[in-house]
Amino acid sequence: MRIAVAGATGNIGARTVAALERDGHEVVRISRSLGVDLVTGAGLDDALAGVDAVVDAISAPPTDREQTATYFGTTTSNLLAAEQRAGVRHHVLLSIVGIHGIEGNAHYSGKREQERLVTEGPVPWTIVPATQFHDFAAMVAGWTERDGVATIAPLLVQPIAPADIAEILAEIATGEPQGRYVDVAGPETQDLVDMARRTNEVRGRVVKLVPTWSGIFEVSMAGNVLLPGENARIAPTTFDDWLAAGAV
Ligand SMILES: NC(=O)c1ccc[n+]([C@@H]2O[C@H](COP(=O)([O-])OP(=O)(O)OC[C@H]3O[C@@H](n4cnc5c(N)ncnc54)[C@H](OP(=O)(O)O)[C@@H]3O)[C@@H](O)[C@H]2O)c1
């Protein structure tokens, strides 16, 4: 098949490209640094010529709620319209578990806008809600790090390995549209503060972590709200496996 991956240079997009190419598919890589911009639509029609399916694994710059919703809304609308013109038969969206139960987070409101446009859009679709990735904890702690000190919310998560979610996206993109897919998660629950501490240890970084609910992850995200629902698909790689492999 000929499959386009939007966000092809990103954490999950690049791994999805690799999985698809390993399985013999022809992959079109979409990202601004590769000359295709989903905000302006530049290069998009050419990129989608002859494409059967599209995986959307782009992300949005961290900003406020309104701008995030506008970014994901514009990129998704442009992508879906170009897919319709090109006769693409399957749109696969990488989303996040639990976003419909949490009001406050700006990124989540953008993801809800993506989901709304995809479900109401012209192209048959599959939405894949994933839990946080194994590298999420150290990444979000890194956003606040100053002089060796970082704040981080003590979220309860059930993280998934980046390589595992990429395999699942590649598998789904090569099949029929399925509508809303079951939640996809890793095998074990974890405390985000502990994950960040252990990841930094493996990476040889000394960072003092201060648990708090005062940052972008509010107390409405405490408890079970980020955990996968019943009948979730559980990917195999544990957080410990990922650490043992070097936390990359
Ligand atoms: N982090 C988590 O734990 C987690 C969990 C579940 C789901 N997710 C979702 O997973 C998705 C992917 O996350 P990620 O961490 O893999 O993202 P990432 O590493 O930040 O990569 C984002 C990709 O999107 C591309 N991109 C951004 N804006 C674009 C535009 N206007 N036009 C074309 N390409 C654009 C970037 O390339 P250029 O900069 O070259 O354009 C890059 O390839 C996100 O939507 C996120 O919500 C994340």
- Residue ID of nearest Cα to ligand 1 atom 15: 11
Of ligand 1's listed atoms, the one at least distance from the Cα of 9 is 43
Give the model's pLDDT for residue 212. 96
0.95 surpassed by pTM: yes
Q: Is 43 left (phi over 0), alpha (psi -120 to 50) or beta?
A: left
**Whether the CB of 72 sits within 6 Å of ligand 1:** no
**Whether the CB of 58 sits within 6 Å of ligand 1:** yes
**Whether the CB of 226 sits within 6 Å of ligand 1:** no
**Whether the CB of 79 sits within 6 Å of ligand 1:** no
By residue count, the chain amounts to 248
Q: How many Å lie between the centroid of ligand 1 and the Cα of residue 12? A: 8
Give the model's pLDDT for residue 216. 87
Q: How many Å lie between the centroid of ligand 1 and the Cα of residue 217? A: 19
Give the model's pLDDT for residue 196. 98
Per-block average pLDDT, block size 10, for the chain (248 residues)?
98 98 98 98 98 98 94 98 98 98 92 98 98 98 96 98 98 98 98 98 97 92 96 98 97
Give the model's pLDDT for residue 67. 96
Burial of 69 (0-12, 13-18, 19+ CB in 10 A): buried
3-state secondary structure labels for all residues of 88-152: CCEEEEEEECCHHHCCCCHHHHHHHHHHHHHHHCCCCEEEEEECCECCHHHHHHHHHCECCEEEE
